[in-house]
């Protein structure tokens, strides 16, 4: 039943690795122990984590194995790290933002049907962006993310001028966007946040995506330019991607030359944002390769 025929396993894996063919649920349960022991290679782990994101049962199984694995860790010899390490660590806390507990991706859409009251558009002030504050965490994380999507991209550092431009652009173009005023205000707030970061990536096949994010606000949004409109049965879908896999952050459609959207869910520094083309209505997990992948 659990098919441990070696040839079968190997064939399935090879097929999966080459063509992205899904592995059966049974096979994933068979890999939960190896996953908890970190005995899967990069590709296997990525594939497993996509299944993990979609299966609470698998999550429970992994959690149980993780508890057992921790007991193995307890068997080792404790070694006191040098005191300097703690000093460095404590000094880093100030520049290391914490995520909120409600990091669940099920944040309801901010686009409530608010009446279009004449907005007093917040004028963006040229707050200096907190550029260059390199996040100390996440080399391995971002490596993992790149593996996940296999799509490295250049990071363009935040510049205060760019942030201001973006805030202006948002206020200028937001009215025709799919989002209500609440979301528009939120987008502006993200761009105006003292720690706002922006990075622009080119999209394969034409167009540009700018991600604006604020760790302090725990939110991010994208501004897309020059992306082709899709067929009626397709939509663009946003993803927050971390070690645990990809979480949908909402969908958007392109109506004009420029569109923007605040992402659903919480933004955490280090998380990556990806965009895929999905069937209309969006997918719980990405079904296509991303057209753009933005590590943060």
Question: Which residues are at the interface with other proteins (CB under 8 A)?
Answer: 4-6, 8-10, 30-34, 36-42, 44, 60, 63-82, 85-86, 88-90, 92-93, 96-101, 103, 136-140, 143-144, 243, 268-270
Our CB check for other proteins shows the closer of 49 and 278 to be 49
Identify the residue whose tokens are 């007093």.
Answer: 120
CB of 128 to other proteins, least distance (A): 24
Identify the residue whose tokens are 């608010």.
Answer: 114
CB of 180 to other proteins, least distance (A): 29
Our CB check for other proteins shows the closer of 33 and 155 to be 33
Our CB check for other proteins shows the closer of 153 and 269 to be 269
CB of 40 to other proteins, least distance (A): 6
* Closest to 221 in 3D by CA, of 255, 260, 252, 194: 260
* SS3 state of residue 265: coil
Our CB check for other proteins shows the closer of 174 and 269 to be 269
CB of 249 to other proteins, least distance (A): 17
| H/E element, 248 | strand 245-252
Our CB check for other proteins shows the closer of 15 and 143 to be 143
Please check whether residue 220 is in contact with residue 214, taking contact to mean a CB–CB distance below 8 angstroms: yes
CB of 208 to other proteins, least distance (A): 30
CB of 140 to other proteins, least distance (A): 4
> d(Cα 266, Cα 240) in Å, to the nearest integer?
9
Pairing state of beta strands 258-262 and 219-225? antiparallel
Token pair for residue 94? 């100030």
> d(Cα 171, Cα 135) in Å, to the nearest integer?
30
Our CB check for other proteins shows the closer of 100 and 114 to be 100
Say how many residues make up the chain.
296
């Amino acid at each position: 039943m659990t098919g441990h025929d070696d040839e079968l396993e190997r064939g399935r894996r090879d097929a999966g690795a080459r063509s992205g063919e899904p592995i059966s649920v049974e096979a994933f349960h068979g890999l939960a122990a190896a996953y908890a022991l970190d005995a899967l290679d990069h590709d296997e782990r990525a594939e497993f984590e996509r299944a993990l994101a979609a299966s609470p049962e698998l999550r429970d199984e992994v959690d149980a194995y993780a508890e057992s694995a921790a007991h193995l860790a307890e068997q080792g010899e404790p070694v006191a790290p040098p005191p300097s390490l703690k000093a460095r660590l404590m000094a880093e806390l100030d520049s290391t933002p914490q995520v909120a507990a409600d990091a669940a991706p099920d944040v309801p859409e901010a686009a409530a049907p608010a009446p279009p009251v004449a907005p007093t558009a917040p004028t963006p002030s040229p707050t200096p962006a907190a550029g260059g504050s390199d996040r100390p965490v996440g080399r391995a994380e971002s490596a993992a993310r790149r593996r996940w999507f296999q799509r490295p991209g250049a990071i363009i550092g935040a510049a205060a001028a760019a942030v201001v431009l973006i805030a202006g652009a948002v206020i200028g173009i937001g009215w025709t966007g799919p989002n209500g005023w609440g979301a528009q205000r939120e987008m502006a707030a993200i761009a105006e946040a003292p720690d706002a970061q922006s990075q622009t990536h080119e999209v394969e096949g034409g167009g540009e995506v700018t991600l604006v994010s604020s760790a302090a606000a725990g939110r991010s949004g994208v501004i897309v330019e020059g992306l082709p409109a899709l067929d009626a049965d397709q939509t663009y879908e946003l993803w927050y991607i971390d070690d645990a896999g990809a979480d949908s952050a909402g969908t958007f459609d392109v109506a004009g030359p420029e569109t923007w959207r605040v992402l659903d869910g919480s933004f955490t520094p280090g998380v990556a944002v990806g965009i895929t083309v999905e069937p209309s209505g969006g997918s719980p997990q990405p079904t296509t390769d991303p057209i753009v992948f933005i590590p943060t």
